[in-house]
């Protein structure tokens, strides 16, 4: 992947401008010269009284600031580099000092610095959402342009400050606003940010894929191809970006990628052109490019493949005929895989393999095993297990796992509430669904939706496992394991009648020879049964261990370090105190604590653990005529832990007027 330094500036007149902006770290006006003054070394307490007004503002020494202002210093006076006090307070996120300056008459939208920008521009560059919210509440205008023609949304997008972008759009900022060069926020993000956000969020808000800048007429896809931003290229194309769009020089996105020698990107783009029907490679492309046709082929293929593998050896034909059929089958497989299999293969194929395996196992039970099973009880139990398996599979497959739904107005309201509550972070906010993430929820990239109490996305049921279908998923695994065991038991009954063997007489190789000779099909089904028995058994055991013993979901166990509500903060504080007091950490584990992959200090204190029996009761919702009381929590709307609502309600909020909000 190309870096910014690898791009030839002469090929893109926008690049010197973009590179200049990328140097902003602490100060928008004198980036490298003012780093020491913007973020100086921590002084001693006696040094504060000698600070000048700028240094006192940077460090947030309110007493010294008040002393100097009350002594007659003009709050709107610029320093020798044309930077105001409000700029310094904004870039260092000094909210109380900003309020004080404004109360003393500071001009909120005062321009200053080498880039001739406002304090709001400075705060935006640094990603200080709290300061952005405060300045806008005090009247700062985010639509003003700095000396380079950028408004705040362009700065937030090119520096990857997704939360600020979301807040500006929620406040009514035009998602497609252009700077003086015709650049939109989506163009900047596509060119500069090598991650899903904020591009994904801008697309959710309806950012245009077809707008072009004024200098070269490039679209967002052009800019992504120019820097080999593969993550964004795929995102833009999936959103409907035009691969044939040309700039003022007649160059397509592929031409730009080729000019910058991004060979891997060029190759992938040519493949995507063929997949999307832009180019023609063969006469069957009408069908191979049809997503519906490809999906049907991938769904049907396992049914045929599993049958062919067992049916060819089962045939009453000479060995060379069987060998020829195997060669033909391999050729067909290669052709089908080449023309019809795509990147959705691993999403579609697992559930098809499950259904195909189940179909042929039932076929084998009826055709091969039933004549030898004399026990009515066994057939009855097998039938009951089948009905329960089918019910639980259907519910796990088709039931809503807990998708979190909101309308556009609610999404905007969430952004405003979180930003003004000082809690708008990507840990709590989903930049794709634009919702406040409830505790234990997660965004599923396959379903492209947020799921309450997300466990994982299971390709074997082609659905997420979440709050509302987790119990059915456990039931599906349990009865699937039972069905596989019954099928293997049927194989044993069949062999006992058709080819009796003795391990001491025949040996392992002799037994295998007898089994395969008696019926290669039954041997193939038995092999399938053993394989499925292994993975289903492991998965069922892991699920029950996590649910009953840990009280966790798969997502929580894997990403344990990310979720603060699972951490024992008291134990962590004690270890920190010990480490500071003795110079090292003893690393001991208290009773009831468990250490996961987050390291020795990441000890768990799961607030949802209620004991093994109650954990099972909570999951399955068992009541037993009122004898049991499962803990019913609405995980779609659970944003704080039970008992912590009072603490959250006391959090300081900005007093922001909502009357002028424009819901777009």
Catalytic residues: 458
For 153, the token pair is 């949304």
Let me know: does 574 contact 567? Beta carbons within 8 Å. Answer: no
Let me know: does 217 contact 178? Beta carbons within 8 Å. Answer: no
Q: How far apart are CA 53 and CA 89, in angstroms?
A: 11
Q: How far apart are CA 627 and CA 458, in angstroms?
A: 33
State how far the alpha carbon of 466 is from the alpha carbons of 447, 473, 545, 636, in Å: 12, 9, 17, 10
Let me know: does 342 contact 272? Beta carbons within 8 Å. Answer: no
Q: How far apart are CA 26 and CA 20, in angstroms?
A: 14
- The per-residue b/e assignment along 543-566, b for 16 or more CB within 10 angstroms, e otherwise, is bbebbeebbbbbbbbeebeebeeb
Q: How far apart are CA 484 and CA 386, in angstroms?
A: 10
Max CA pair span of the chain: 107
Helix or strand run (H / E) with residue 124: helix 119-126
Q: How far apart are CA 358 and CA 239, in angstroms?
A: 37
- Helices 119-126 and 129-137 pack at an angle, to 10 degrees, of 160
For 230, the token pair is 């593969």
- Of 89, 33, 100, which Cα lies nearest the Cα of 59? 89
Q: How many CB atoms within 10 Å of residue 443?
A: 17
State how far the alpha carbon of 311 is from the alpha carbons of 30, 317, 488, 531, in Å: 76, 11, 19, 19
- The per-residue b/e assignment along 292-318, b for 16 or more CB within 10 angstroms, e otherwise, is eebbebbeebbbebbbbbbbbbeeeee
Phi, psi dihedral angles at 164 (to 5 degrees): -70, -40
3-state secondary structure (DSSP) of residue 291: helix
Only one residue has tokens 């005929």, namely 321
How long, in residues, is the chain? 664
């Amino acid at each position: 992947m190309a870096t910014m330094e690898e791009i030839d500036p002469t090929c893109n007149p926008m690049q010197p401008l973009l590179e200049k902006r990328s140097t902003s770290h602490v100060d928008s006006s004198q980036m490298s010269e003012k780093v020491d003054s913007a973020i100086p070394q921590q002084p001693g307490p006696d040094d504060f009284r000698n600070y000048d007004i700028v240094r006192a503002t940077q460090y947030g020494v309110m007493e010294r600031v008040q002393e100097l202002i009350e002594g007659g210093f003009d709050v709107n006076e610029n320093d020798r580099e044309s930077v105001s006090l409000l700029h310094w307070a904004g870039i260092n996120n000094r909210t109380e000092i900003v309020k004080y300056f404004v109360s003393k008459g500071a001009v909120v939208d005062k321009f200053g610095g080498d880039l001739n920008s406002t304090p709001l521009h400075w705060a935006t560059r640094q990603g200080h959402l709290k300061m952005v919210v405060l300045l806008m509440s005090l009247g700062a205008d985010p639509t003003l342009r700095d000396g380079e023609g950028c408004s705040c949304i362009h700065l937030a997008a090119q520096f990857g400050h997704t939360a600020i972008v979301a807040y500006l759009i929620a406040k009514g900022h035009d998602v497609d606003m252009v700077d003086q060069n015709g650049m939109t926020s989506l163009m900047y993000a596509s060119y500069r940010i090598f991650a899903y956000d904020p591009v994904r969020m801008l697309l959710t808000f309806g950012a245009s894929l077809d707008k072009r800048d004024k200098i070269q007429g490039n679209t967002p896809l052009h800019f992504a191809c120019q820097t080999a931003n593969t993550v964004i290229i795929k995102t833009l194309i999936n959103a409907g970006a035009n691969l044939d769009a040309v700039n003022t020089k007649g160059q397509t996105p592929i031409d730009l990628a080729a000019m910058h020698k991004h060979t891997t990107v060029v190759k992938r783009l040519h493949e995507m052109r063929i997949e999307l029907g832009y180019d023609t490679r063969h006469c069957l492309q009408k069908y191979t490019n049809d997503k519906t046709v490809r999906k049907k082929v991938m769904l049907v293929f396992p049914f045929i493949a599993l049958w062919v593998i067992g049916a060819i050896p089962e045939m009453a034909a000479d060995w060379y005929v069987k060998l020829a059929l195997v060669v033909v089958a391999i050729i067909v497989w290669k052709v089908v895989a080449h023309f019809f299999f795509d990147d959705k293969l691993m999403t579609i194929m697992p559930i098809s393999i499950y259904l195909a395996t189940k179909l042929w196992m039932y076929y084998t039970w009826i055709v091969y095993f039933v004549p030898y099973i004399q026990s009515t009880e066994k057939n009855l139990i097998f039938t009951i297990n089948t009905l329960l398996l089918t019910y639980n599979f259907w519910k796990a497959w088709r039931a809503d796992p807990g998708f979190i739904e909101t309308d556009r107005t609610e999404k905007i309201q969430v952004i405003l509430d979180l930003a003004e509550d000082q809690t708008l972070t990507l840990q709590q906010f989903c930049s794709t669904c634009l919702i406040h993430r409830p505790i234990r929820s997660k965004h599923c990239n396959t379903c492209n939706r947020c799921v309450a109490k997300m466990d994982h996305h299971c390709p074997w049921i082609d659905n997420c496992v979440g709050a509302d279908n987790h119990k059915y998923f456990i039931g599906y695994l349990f009865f699937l394991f039972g069905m596989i065991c019954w099928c293997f038991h049927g194989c044993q009954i069949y062999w006992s009648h058709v080819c009796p063997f003795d391990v001491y007489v025949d040996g392992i190789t002799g037994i295998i020879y007898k089994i395969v000779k008696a019926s290669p099909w039954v041997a193939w089904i038995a092999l399938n049964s053993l394989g499925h028995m292994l993975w289903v058994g492991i998965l069922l055991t892991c699920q029950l261990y996590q649910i009953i013993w840990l009280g966790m979901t798969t997502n929580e166990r894997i990403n344990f370090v990310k979720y603060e509500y699972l951490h024992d903060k008291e134990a962590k504080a004690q270890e920190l105190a010990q480490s500071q007091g003795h110079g090292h950490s003893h690393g001991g584990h208290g009773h009831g604590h468990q250490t996961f992959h987050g390291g020795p200090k990441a000890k768990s204190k799961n607030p949802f653990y209620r004991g093994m029996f109650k954990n099972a009761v909570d999951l399955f919702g068992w009541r037993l005529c009122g004898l049991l009381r499962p803990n019913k929590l609405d995980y779609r709307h659970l944003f704080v832990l039970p008992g912590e609502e009072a603490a959250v309600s006391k959090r300081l909020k900005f007093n922001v007027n909502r009357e002028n909000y424009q819901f777009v």
